[in-house]
């Protein structure tokens, strides 16, 4: 993970993970979730900061922090 993030040490990666967990607490209530089949809506969601999560039953799921 540290190489992917470009950190020189595992301690730095751990520090950022701890900060992120403290700020966002990793619960589903901290996210807005949208699902769509429409390619134009997918593009709109990505343009306003949603990230792709997965696809299921023909729908693509996106989320963004509140």
Given this model, what pLDDT does residue 49 score? 95
Which pair of tokens denotes residue 56?
A: 């299921």
Report pLDDT for 25.
Answer: 65
Work out the burial of residue 42: count CB atoms within 10 Å of its CB; fewer than 13 is exposed, 13-18 middle, 19 or more buried: middle
* pTM, entire model: 0.59
What integer pLDDT is reported at residue 23 of this predicted model?
64
Using alpha carbons only, how large is the chain's radius of gyration in Å? 15
> Range of 8's domain?
2-65
Name the stretches of the chain with pLDDT < 70. 1-5, 20, 23-28
Indicate the number of domains in the chain. Answer: 1
- What's residue 17's pLDDT? 76
Q: How far apart are CA 7 and CA 1, in angstroms?
A: 9
């Amino acid at each position: 993970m540290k190489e992917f993030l470009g950190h020189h040490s595992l301690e730095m990666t751990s520090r950022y993970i701890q900060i992120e967990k403290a700020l966002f607490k990793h619960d589903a209530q901290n996210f807005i979730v949208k699902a769509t089949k429409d390619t134009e809506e997918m593009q709109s969601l990505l343009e306003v900061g949603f990230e792709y999560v997965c696809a299921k039953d023909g729908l693509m799921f996106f989320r963004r922090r509140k």
